[in-house]
Amino acid sequence: MAEGQIVAAYGRQFLVELADGSTVPCMMRGRKGGAACGDRVVIQMTSASQGVIDSIAPRQVLLFRSDAFREKLIAANVTQIVAVVAAVPSFYEELLSRCLIAAEAANIKALIVLNKCDLVRESIETRARLALYSDLGYPLQLLAATQDIAPLRPWLHNETSVLVGQSGMGKSSIINALLPDIQIQARTQEISTALNSGRHTTTHAQLYHLDGASHIIDSPGLQEFGLHHLSRGELEHAFVEFRPFFGHCRFNDCKHRVEPGCAILEAVKQGKISQRRLADYRKMLG
């Protein structure tokens, strides 16, 4: 038996890093619940070069997405979500909003990175779209990863971060710039301009060590981020601008749709809450 950490997750196959830095390909024992990149595990060697995951240590955080039918694990034991968007191709704003809600629900920090800022005109337009989130208190870091990765490094120090976002936003380019020696593992591909979206360049989650106390997980490109597992109360609380108005609606079970005396609707009228964010909340609520 040996203890280690999952540093790559390929469906039901995993790469576990042991204390000496060596790695062991592993499967889950039986049909137990899934494991995620970042999990601390106990493995049992089944041969000189392979093992099975016997147990998973209690997690500090488990980041996952869900729909009505299943859950998809993203990463475990992370301290920060780094939501990567780009000036080109255009990013899906609802996906960004859902990533921020997931961070709030997991009680971890969130950072928005606007990559490809060397594309000046497109960057200005994208920054205008992102002003809503900056005004809510989410830090925004401008970046041109292929030119200078230095502005991002302080945000990653002493954190276990997970990169999330659509394909084509430059997550693999960020990994390549942070760790140039692993470029073969984090290959970038050309953006499909015809579809205005990036091709999937990462098909599995992988953890990289930046230094002894700083780690980063590159996750597959997302096209959606289901939050079916959140209750209405959890979803409400994850909208940070709603919090000052809790307890002020006329009805305790107010859904903030058309109810009279709704403090959230009144705050929207007064410009204290964005109509865009209220629309996001209603869509996520279903």
Distance CA 42, CA 133 (A): 40
243 Cβ contact list (under 8 Å, min separation 6): 237
- Co-location of 73 and 182 in the same domain: yes
Report whether pLDDT(127) > 70.
Answer: yes
163 CA to centre of own chain = 6
pLDDT band at 197 (very low <50, low <70, confident <90, very high): very low
Dihedral sign (CA 45, 58, 160, 103):
positive
pTM: 0.88
Task: Classify residue 42: in a domain, yes or no.
Answer: yes
Q: What is the CATH number of the domain that holds 248?
A: 1.10.40.50
- Residue ranges of the alpha helices (H) in 107-238? 120-135, 153-156, 171-178, 232-238
Report whether pLDDT(44) > 90.
Answer: yes
Domain that holds residue 25: 2-56
User: What pLDDT does residue 105 have?
Assistant: 94
Q: What is the CATH number of the domain that holds 14?
A: 2.40.50.140
pLDDT band at 195 (very low <50, low <70, confident <90, very high): very low
Task: Classify residue 98: in a domain, yes or no.
Answer: yes
Distance CA 182, CA 177 (A): 9
Distance CA 168, CA 14 (A): 25
Strand residues in 180-281 grouped as ranges (E) = 191-192, 197-198, 205-209, 215-218
User: What pLDDT does residue 186 have?
Assistant: 42
Rounded mean pLDDT of 155-169? 94
Distance CA 144, CA 15 (A): 31
Distance CA 30, CA 41 (A): 15
Peptide bond preceding 154 in cis form (omega within 30 of 0):
no
Total number of domains constituting the chain: 3
The residue among 56, 73, 89 that closes a domain is 56
- Co-location of 205 and 69 in the same domain: yes
- Co-location of 37 and 83 in the same domain: no
Report whether pLDDT(192) > 90.
Answer: no
Dump pLDDT digits (tens) for 53-93: 999 999 999 998 888 778 889 999 999 999 999 988 778 89
- Co-location of 188 and 262 in the same domain: no
Judged on CB neighbours under 10 Å (0-12, 13-18, 19+), 214 is middle
**Backbone phi, psi, residue 281, to 5°:** -60, -45
Rounded mean pLDDT of 183-199? 39
The residue among 189, 218, 247 that closes a domain is 218
Whether residue 235 contacts residue 284, with contact meaning beta carbons closer than 8 Å, is answered with yes
The residue among 159, 189, 218 that closes a domain is 218
- Co-location of 169 and 273 in the same domain: no
User: What pLDDT does residue 193 have?
Assistant: 36
Worst-scoring range by mean pLDDT, 39-53, 77-91, 149-163, 183-197?
Answer: 183-197
Q: What is the CATH number of the domain that holds 154?
A: 3.40.50
- Co-location of 81 and 188 in the same domain: yes
- Residue ranges of the alpha helices (H) in 138-214? 153-156, 171-178
